[in-house]
Amino acid sequence: MYGPERPGLEQEALGTGLSWSVEHAHDRSTVNTAGPAAGLPNSRRLLRQPEAAQGQTGRRALYLLFANAEWSGATVSRSPSNPQLVLRPQDLVVLLRLALEQGPAPTYAALGAELGLTASEAHAAVERAVAARLAIKDGAGKPSVVRAALKAFVQHGARYCFPATQGALSRGVPTGYAASPLNEQIRPGSDPPPVWPWKKGTARGFAFHPLYPSVPEAAERNPALGELLALFDAVRGGSAREQALALALLEERLQP
C-alpha cells in the first residue's frame, strides 16, 4: 500500500493539472516534465512500463512514484469539477501525532516513517490540516497543532467525517474500550472486543477498521498515539458510557 503501486490514485494524480512526459529504458527511467509541472522536484510522476512488458500484459500499466522532497504545490490535489478541499482519515492520525510533540515537529520523512506514510503523504496531510485551520506553520515552515480547534473537531465533528467501519471476527490489536486507557475503567463483557485487524495482533475480536491501515504499526511504535486513536474509536463507535469517558480523557489530553 505504501509502495509505488497505489490503486485508485491514478485519477488523483491526473487531476492535479500537472503534465508529464515519461521515457523508460530497461535499466533506468527518465522523467521529462512538461507544462506547469516543469522543474518541480516533488510532483507525482507517472511511469509507464517498458514496451516489452506492455506486450506481455496486453495493456499499459501506470505506476505512481512519490518524490520525498518537500514541495507544497502538488500535494493538495483537487478535482477540476469540485475544488472543495476534503480532509482524509490519515490527516487526523498526523494531527494527533503532532499533538503529542512537545518540541519542534519532526521532518516529514521522520513523521511519515513513524506513521507508515511517505514524506509526501505526511506533507499533504499537514497542508490539508493547515487549510482546515487545524494546524499552523511557523516562520521556518514547521507545523504545529491548533489544540483548541483539534479538540473541538475530535469531540464534535470527526466522528461524523470518519464513521466507524466494523467487520467480522478477526485477529488484531484491541481498540476502543478494550485498549488503554479505557480498559482500566470499563469492565469487559462476554462479547468479543473491537480490534484493529493486524496479522501480528494477539487478540481476537470484531474488526474495527482504523483510520488508516498503518495505524496498528504506528501505535506499536508510539503507544501514546495508540491511546489517542483508541479513545477516538470509542467516541465514534462506542456506547454512550464509553463515549463519555473517552471524551473526558481526550479533553484532558488535548488541552491547549
pLDDT single digits (tens) 209-231: 999 999 999 999 999 999 999 99
The set of cell numbers assigned to 199 is 496479522
Indicate whether 56 pLDDT > 80. no
Backbone angles phi, psi at 115, to 5 degrees: -100, 0
Q: pLDDT band at residue 66, thresholds of 50, 70 and 90?
A: very low
Mean per-residue pLDDT, 117-145: 96
Domains of the chain, each with CATH number or no CATH? 1-82 (no CATH), 89-159 (1.10.10.10), 163-253 (no CATH)
Asked whether residue 70 carries a pLDDT value surpassing 50, the answer given is no
Question: Count of H helices and E strands in the chain?
Answer: 10, 9
For the cut 70, the answer to whether the pLDDT of residue 155 exceeds it is: yes
**Percent of the chain at pLDDT exceeding 90:** 63
Written as one letter, the residue type at 100 is L
Q: Judge whether residue 13 has pLDDT over 60.
A: no
Q: Which three cell numbers stand for residue 90?
A: 490519515
Residue, of 196 and 15, whose pLDDT is higher: 196
Q: What percent of the chain has pLDDT over 70?
A: 70
Q: How confident is the model at residue 207 (pLDDT cuts 50, 70, 90)?
A: very high
What distance in Å separates the CA atoms of residue 111 and residue 104, rounded to the nearest whole number?
12
Residue closest to 98 by CA, chosen among 159, 156, 68, 142: 142
pLDDT at 117 over 60: yes
Provide the H-helix boundaries in 116-167: 119-131, 147-156, 158-161
Which pLDDT band holds residue 65 (cuts at 50, 70, 90)?
A: very low
Please give the pLDDT value at position 190: 87
* Average pLDDT for 166-178: 96
195 strand-pairing partners: 174, 207
pLDDT: is 102 or 234 the higher one?
Answer: 234
d(CA 230, CA 181): 8
- Strands 166-174 and 45-48, by their bridges, are unpaired
- In this prediction, residue 2 carries a pLDDT of 39
